[in-house]
Amino acid sequence: MSYIKIRNLNFSYKDDEGNPESVLRDLSLDIEKGEYVAVLGHNGSGKSTLAKLLNLVIEDYDYFEGSIEIDGMEISSPNMTEDDVYELRKKVGMVFQNPDNQIVATIVEEDVAFGPENLGLPREEIRARVDEALRIVGMTEYSRHEPHRLSGGQKQRIAIAGIIAMRPDCIIFDESTAMLDPMGRREVVNTMEKLNREDGKTIITITHYMDEAVRADRVIVIDDGRIILDGKPSEIFAKADKIRECGLDLPLCSDLLIKLRERGIRLDGEINTPEQCAETIARSLLK
Amino acid sequence: MSKIKVENVSFVYSAGTPFEVKALDDVTIEIKENTITGIIGHTGSGKSTLVQMFNGLVKPMSGRILLDGEDIWEKPKSIGSVRYRVGLVMQYPEYQLFEDTVIEDISFGPKNMGLDPDEIKKRVLEACELVGLDFDMLSKSPFDLSGGQKRRAAIAGVMAMRPEVLVLDEPAAGLDPAGRNSIFDGIKRYADATGAAVIIVSHSMDDMAKYCDELVVLSHSKVAMFGNRKEVFSRSRELEAIGLGVPQITRLVMLLRDKGIEISPDIYTVDEAETALAALFGGGV
Amino acid sequence: MNSIALGQYYPSGSVMHRLDPRMKIILAIVYMVVSFLCNNVFSFVLLFLSAIALVLISRIPLKTVLRSIRAIMFIMIFTAVLNIFWTKGSPEELLISWGIIQIYSSGIYNAAFIAIRIFCMIIGTSIFLTYTTTPIQLTDALEQLLSPLKVLHIPVHEFAMMMTIALRFIPTIVEETEKIMSAQKARGADFTSGSLSKRAKALIPVLIPLFISAFRRAGELATAMTCRCYRGGKGRTKLNVLRFTYRDLIGVLMMAAFISGIVLLNIFAPGYSM
């Protein structure tokens, strides 16, 4: 059974005049435990709404139809109690865009402890989880620092540690790299990858950056509230026209090879990364 | 023609305390008219300090900033007029919007310049056209716009002052690909229409390769490289050593050359690579 | 920019810094009360010496301490002078009589006592509470000390959480203010010249974006906290539990010795008493 199972989801917000504004349309999706999924889509495509729904942090909506099941729990059910929601949030953690706006405490380790403290865990258990989470994100030596003096990438890793310390099965990254410089992005994406590969966490990352999506096992492209493409990165990036239609860019090297193919040049092989592209070009040229 | 000269400029934060941080160390560069200059460097390399020096928000501790050959700090009282001649768009400029309508917000700069209403209106419309903001947005509240539109309105607010030098700190940060492209296209239109010197700060080597003619690489508060695109990107190994990397296309070209393929090393964008490779493949079909 | 000091916390790493902050709050209150117990020259001298001892133990430079009480000096002198003129003693204490102004020796004593009392109260509270305790420690300690009030449905935890968040966001918002000011300056805003009303008006382009951003941050933070299973103080545990150690015990004993000293001097020491 899938870890996340979404069936025929229709969702709309109320706009300022109180009219419904449709965001997700008849969306169905299955995500297995341990998958590493990148969700792409331009601003306003509905991808962030989808993420927030998975954690039930949307309040002011107009219309909600269809079903969302997470780990066998029907979270779209009207019978969800406050305790059910609490259980859900233990399973699915979220990391947001702006690191400044998700850090609560004035000392790193106390911020990481915030989640476990809310869970009412005993002190020794909190200590162990905080130390473990800081180790996983590589911030152990900063445990007594003040978060506002850290770099963007470091702050975001603290935010991630705060989620890891709650030991969720699944972590959703809602454009968590958008405000970071390349070094910070690398730090965060490496952390995501590590959480998936080593700790078996289900990772869902919402991003604009194609080079981040390439590293996932699976890419989903959302446009206008619908899933347009869903597959392995290499399958997705081969569909250049569709990607461009959705207001997205291809990784530059993939773009180049597709343009060459469009000129009628035969290039067989993978085209996700510069290395693969070089390999593919070399093979055809030196044949 | 040189528009701005930065001569031996240094700056230190919290000087004389144990928290002393060097931001700029003996920086000398030149910004040309009719040219888009890119400034690249890590967070903390001194970029942001340098950017705020061009228009006199930060005063150098030593060295001079020359605008058209004149020291901008010659008469500190008239530094205000320098801010109209050198327009600065800070990072995430949409957070500076405050007026009730978009048109009033874009007019804020020109109004401070003391222009007459007709001229202000003319400039506002012109700026909107350059950044690609629809005129029917003008009467809306800036807070009702989408993220990308807000960004464009904020940039238009600086363009409407018609600065001779336009400086932008990470103008496309956090936007989706469509948003990024529209911002850079707007900047390019401004450069072409006015002949202004444009300075762009960015982390993205790919954007730099695509839009900039000249490049300044800052590392540890010093100028590590300064020259045209070709001069800078040809030192790809050094760029990688600084940790900045090279444009993805340049990396691809380097890999191809390593494999013994005869392709010019001076290729930085998709279009250039497409032309060169098509030629190698015998012009396609 | 990054070195915004909140309050006057002075990290000298003394024993005083390592005392349990709950204990320090209680000691500060007790110290204030004791300063009111003093009633003769000897006990006031002891009180004064104790304040000096506090400064020495906490290893805060005397200069720093004196600079911070400069503002209070005026009140001290003012009250002291008032006491000199207003105290009416018995006729044998009369020192100077000049028209309606009559100065008694008891007035001089009282003035000195009041000055010492104010001085010691200020030194005591600032050593215990601001110089050696971070605002966040104070917040934590207050939450725990006041937690019995929860029975009366007073939202102690919520107030403490609000304080913590405020402390956490002060540097962020100060930084943001500077950024917005720079951005508006770049568009020709002038914050430094013109009449007062003009300057106040010039702040609008800073304040509006600042408020909007603060609301946005508040919304995002609330969402992030919700996602981390925050639902108020109920059932919450803490990573860093405040602990009463042998050091705190020494603190209590020293305070007890000090109080007995004052009381004994009050009863047995000779001379003028208040």
Residue C189, C-beta contacts closer than 8 angstroms, at least 6 positions apart: B108, B112, C181, C202, C205, C206
Q: Which residues of A touch C212 (CB under 8 A)?
A: none
Quick check: A141 contacting B, CB < 8 Å? no
Name the helix (H) or strand (E) containing B27. Answer: strand B21-32
What tokens does C165 get? 């968040």
pLDDT at residue number C7: 53
Q: Is B199 helix (H, G, I), strand (E, B) or coil?
A: strand
Beta carbons within 10 angstroms of residue C161's beta carbon: 19
Question: Does B285 sit within 8 Å of A260, measured CB to CB?
Answer: no
Q: Closest by alpha carbon to A40, among A170, A286, A223, A190?
A: A223
Q: Is A3 helix (H, G, I), strand (E, B) or coil?
A: coil
pLDDT at residue number A197: 95
Strands B36-40, B62-67: pairing kind: unpaired
Give the helix ranges, DSSP H, for chain A.
Answer: 47-54, 82-91, 108-118, 123-136, 152-164, 182-197, 210-213, 233-238, 240-245, 252-262, 274-285
Instruction: Please state, in angstroms and as integers, the Cα–Cα distance from residue A217 to each residue in A34, A201, A249, A250, C240, following that order.
Output: 10, 13, 19, 17, 40
Quick check: C212 contacting B, CB < 8 Å? yes
Beta carbons within 10 angstroms of residue A218's beta carbon: 19
pLDDT tens column, C21-57? 999 999 999 999 999 989 888 999 999 999 999 999 9
Beta carbons within 10 angstroms of residue C250's beta carbon: 12
Rounded to whole angstroms, how far apart are CA atoms A226 and A86? 29
What tokens does A180 get? 């970071």
DSSP for residue A25: E
Question: Does C223 sit within 8 Å of A117, measured CB to CB?
Answer: no
Quick check: B194 contacting A, CB < 8 Å? no
- Closest CA of chain C from A200, distance in Å: 20
pLDDT at residue number B18: 64
Give the CA radius of gyration of chain C. 25
What tokens does B143 get? 């807070």
Q: Closest by alpha carbon to A53, among A33, A30, A69, A32?
A: A69
Spans of chain A, pLDDT less than 50: none
Closest CB to B256: pick one of A44, A255, A278: A278
Spans of chain C, pLDDT less than 50: 1-6
Which CATH architecture best describes the domain B2-235?
3-Layer(aba) Sandwich (3.40)
Rounded to whole angstroms, how far apart are CA atoms A162 and A108? 9
Give C252's strand partners.
Answer: none
Q: Which residues of C touch B97 (CB under 8 A)?
A: 209
Give the CA radius of gyration of chain A. 20
Contact C135, C85 (CB under 8 A): no
Size of interface A-B (CB pairs under 8 A): 102
Rounded to whole angstroms, how far apart are CA atoms C30 and C37? 11
Quick check: A127 contacting C, CB < 8 Å? yes
3-state SS, chain C, equals CCCCCCCCCCCCCCHHHHCCHHHHHHHHHHHHHHHHHCCEHHHHHHHHHHHHHHHHHHCCCHHHHHHHCHHHHHHHHHHHHHHHHHCCCCHHHEEEEECCEEEEHHHHHHHHHHHHHHHHHHHHHHHHHHHCCCHHHHHHHHHHHHHHHHHHCCCHHHHHHHHHHHHHHHHHHHHHHHHHHHHHHHCCCCCCCCCHHHHHHHCHHHHHHHHHHHHHHHHHHHHHHHHCCCCCCCCCCCCCCCCCCHHHHHHHHHHHHHHHHHHHHHHHCCCCEC
Rounded to whole angstroms, how far apart are CA atoms B169 and B186? 15
With 0-12 / 13-18 / 19 or more C-beta atoms within 10 angstroms meaning exposed / middle / buried, residue A128 is middle
Q: Is the pTM of this model over 0.80?
A: yes
Closest CB to A120: pick one of C2, C164, C236: C236
Q: Closest by alpha carbon to B106, among B122, B85, B90, B86?
A: B122
Residue of C nearest to B105 (CA): C205
Quick check: B193 contacting A, CB < 8 Å? no
Burial B273-284 (b: 16+ CB within 10 A, else e): bbebbbeebeee
Question: Does A118 sit within 8 Å of C228, measured CB to CB?
Answer: yes
Contact C69, C77 (CB under 8 A): no
CA torsion angle C147 C151 C154 C160 (round to 10): 20
Q: Which amino acid is at C42?
A: F
Closest CB to B252: pick one of A42, A277, A285: A277
Residue B49, C-beta contacts closer than 8 angstroms, at least 6 positions apart: B11, B23, B24, B58
Provide ipTM, 2 decimals: 0.89
Rounded to whole angstroms, how far apart are CA atoms C127 and A127? 31
- Closest CA of chain C from A105, distance in Å: 6
Quick check: C77 contacting B, CB < 8 Å? no
Q: Is A147 helix (H, G, I), strand (E, B) or coil?
A: helix
DSSP for residue B173: T
Rounded to whole angstroms, how far apart are CA atoms A159 and A234? 31
Contact A253, A270 (CB under 8 A): no
Beta carbons within 10 angstroms of residue B244's beta carbon: 23
Quick check: A1 contacting B, CB < 8 Å? no
Question: Does A104 sit within 8 Å of C239, measured CB to CB?
Answer: no
Query: What sign results for the dihedral spanned by CA atoms A268, A273, A277, A278?
Result: negative
pLDDT at residue number C242: 78
- Closest CA of chain C from B24, distance in Å: 17
Phi, then psi, of A179 in degrees rounded to 5: -95, 10
Q: For testing the chain B interface, which of A270, A285, A286 should be mutated: the one with the most B CBs within 10 Å? A: A285
Q: What ranges do the domains of chain A cover?
A: 36-50+79-242, 251-287
pLDDT in tens, chain B (285 residues): 789 999 999 999 877 666 678 899 999 999 999 999 999 988 888 898 999 999 999 999 999 999 999 999 998 888 889 999 999 999 999 999 999 999 999 999 999 999 999 999 999 999 999 999 999 999 999 999 988 899 999 999 999 999 999 999 999 988 888 889 999 999 999 999 999 999 999 988 889 999 999 999 999 999 999 999 989 998 988 988 888 888 989 989 999 999 988 899 889 999 999 999 999 888 544
Closest CB to A123: pick one of C224, C226, C237: C237
What tokens does B13 get? 């934060």
- Closest CA of chain B from A248, distance in Å: 6
Question: Does B83 sit within 8 Å of C180, measured CB to CB?
Answer: no
Question: Does A260 sit within 8 Å of B274, measured CB to CB?
Answer: yes
Q: What ranges do the domains of chain B cover?
A: 2-235, 247-285
What tokens does C249 get? 């015990």
Mean pLDDT across chain C, nearest whole number?
A: 87
What tokens does B166 get? 């336009």
CATH code matching the domain that covers A36-50+79-242, chosen among 3.40.50.300, 3.40.50.620, 1.10.357.10, 3.60.70.12: 3.40.50.300
Give A24's strand partners.
Answer: A11
Question: Does B143 sit within 8 Å of C1, measured CB to CB?
Answer: no
Residue of C nearest to A112 (CA): C239
